[in-house]
Amino acid sequence: MADLPPRFPVTSAQIDQVMQVFYASVRHDQTLGPIFERHIGTDAESWDHHIAKISRFWHRGILHEGEYSGNPMTAHTRAGDIYAHHFDIWLALFDRALAQVLPAEPAAQWSALAHRMGRGLRMGVKDINQPEGAVPDLS
């Protein structure tokens, strides 16, 4: 997979910078901050570990470089306190970080990718929170 070209023109350093800007916003967000702190912790080392892991996810997904081990769907559906409306906040903060760090075109391309992933995660979280036997909400 390392021979594939990047999905769009961003550098490794830009990915890392987007992650730093994004997670700084998340930590200060009144809705998402407490959720992330329950799952990550409050100390800098735990946050650094999480940010590095998610940076590896994006390096793999965008640049086709490095190693990532994890399952975002499982992580979000098993959390127990993540709901569909949280993804609207997450994506708004993510888009703001992209706009701060990147030129317009790669920011828009990465945003489109993040929004596609966000739709999938939102549907997974909606499904896991549905009562047993309920008709799935595919909106």
Q: What is the mean pLDDT of residues 103-111?
A: 98
Sequence spans of domains, the chain: 12-67+75-128
Task: Report which of residues 138 and 42 the model is more confident about.
Answer: 42
12-67+75-128 belongs to CATH 3.20.20.80: no
Residue 85 reports pLDDT greater than 60: yes
List Cα–Cα distances, 110 to 30, 80, 128, 134, in angstroms: 25, 28, 27, 34
Whole-number pLDDT of residue 127: 61
Categorize the per-residue pLDDT at 87 as very low, low, confident or very high, splitting at 50, 70 and 90: very high
Q: What's the token pair of residue 31?
A: 């809705």
Q: What is the mean pLDDT of residues 111-137?
A: 78
Least confident range from 49-58, 71-80, 88-97, 106-115: namely: 71-80
- Give the global pTM: 0.86
Q: What's the token pair of residue 72?
A: 């975002």
Task: Report which of residues 35 and 1 the model is more confident about.
Answer: 35
Residues in the chain, total: 139
Using CA atoms, how far apart are residues 37 and 35, in angstroms rounded to an integer? Answer: 5
Categorize the per-residue pLDDT at 7 as very low, low, confident or very high, splitting at 50, 70 and 90: very high
Residue 3 reports pLDDT greater than 90: no
Residue-wise pLDDT for 9-55, tens only, equals: 999 999 999 999 999 999 999 999 999 999 999 999 999 999 999 99
What is the 8-class DSSP label of residue 61?
I
Mean pLDDT of the chain: 90
